[in-house]
Amino acid sequence: MSRVAEQTILLSGLPPLAEGQESVVYQHPGFFDVLLKVPHRESRHLRNASKPGLKRYAIWRYRGLINWYREYEEYLALIARNGALPAFLPRLFGFSSTDLGPAFMVEKIVGPDGNAAPTLLDLARAGRIDAHILRLLDELFDQIAESGAVTQDLNPGNIVWSGDPDRLVLIEGLGDRVLIRLRVFSKRARLRKLARDKEKLLAELRDFAPKA
C-alpha cells in the first residue's frame, strides 16, 4: 500500500473554511483544489447513534456518516443515469483519515477572482444578485430537473458561484432524508418539490439583499 494513503492528514489547529450542523470543512493542506469534510462532533446523527435503544437502520449502520451515505448514493445514481457527473456538482475524490476523524474529499470550487467561490448568500448580502446570477440560477434548476437528482435543503448557503466555467454549483443538499423516498420514484413529486424550493430560494435571496 502507498505510504501516502497511510498518512493521517493533520487538521488540528487549522481554521475551518465552513461549518454546518453535520460537517466541518477544511482546506486540504497538500492540495489547493481539494476540501476535506469532517463530521461535526456535535452532529445530531452522532448523538442519535450513541443513544441506547432501537435505531433507524441508516442511523444504526452509518452513524454520524449518514449524510455521506445519502450524498454518495445520489452521486452514484446520477452517474448511472446520466453516464457522467452533472456539471452542477463538485467532483468527489474519496475518503481519507485525519486527526479529527474520517474525511470526505471533494473538489474545491473557486469563484471568478480565483478565491473560494462565494455562496448565493454572500452575493445576496453584498447586493450582487443580478440578471446574470438569476439566469445561472434558472440554468441550475433546469439541470437539476433534467438530471433526475433528488435534493434537499436548497438554501443560498449551499450554492456557490464558480468562475471557470461560469456556473452555479450545488455543494450541499444532495439526497433525501425521508424514510419513504417518494421523489426517487415519482418525477412529478420531484419536480413539484423542486419548483417549491426554487420559489423559496428566490424569496430568501430577496430577504437577504441590502435594504435601500
Question: Minimal CA–CA distance to 140: which of 157, 126, 118, 160?
Answer: 160
Distance, in Å, from the CA atom of 204 to the CA atom of 60, rounded to the nearest integer, reads 35
CA distance 19 to 7: 24
Query: What's the domain count of the chain?
Result: 2
Mean pLDDT for the chain?
88
Q: Which domain holds residue 140?
A: 110-212
pLDDT in tens, 2-50: 454 568 999 999 999 988 778 899 999 999 999 999 988 766 655 665 6
DSSP string, 14-64: SPPSEE-SSEEEEE-SS-TTEEEEEE-TT-HHHHHHHSSS---HHHHHHGG
Residue ending a domain, among 89, 108, 127, is 108
Q: Are residues 89 and 173 in the same domain?
A: no
Nearby residues of 99 by Cβ (< 8 Å), 6 or more positions away: 8, 9, 10, 11, 12
d(CA 97, CA 104): 9
Exposure on the CB side of residue 113, measured as CA atoms within 13 A: 4
Whether residues 87 and 123 fall in one domain = no
Q: Residue 158 falls within a domain, yes or no? A: yes
Helix, strand, coil share of the chain (percent; to 5): 40, 20, 40
Instruction: Match 423559496 to its residue by C-alpha cell.
Output: 200
pLDDT at 188 over 50: yes
Q: Where a domain ends, among 56, 77, 108?
A: 108
**Which tens digits make up the pLDDT trace of 190-209?**
999 999 999 999 999 999 98
- Element containing residue 190 per DSSP (H, E): helix 187-208
What is the mean pLDDT of the segment spanning 101-121? Answer: 94
Nearest residue to 174 (alpha-carbon basis) of 61, 108, 89, 56? 89
Q: What is the pLDDT of residues 120-160, one digit of tens each?
A: 999 999 999 999 999 999 999 999 999 999 998 899 999 99
Question: Same domain for 143 and 200?
Answer: yes
Q: Of 11-15, 73-77, 163-167, 184-188, which range is least confident?
A: 184-188
Mean pLDDT of 48-60: 69
Domain end position, chosen among 108, 137, 164 = 108
CATH (domain of 65): 3.30.200
Co-location of 97 and 121 in the same domain: no
d(CA 150, CA 195): 13
Distance CA 189, CA 205 (A): 24
Cα–Cα distance, 119 to 159 (Å, whole number): 5
Confidence (pTM): 0.88
Whichever domain contains 130, its CATH number is 1.10.510
The 10 Å Cβ neighbour count of residue 86 is 17
Whether residue 133 sits in one domain with residue 206: yes
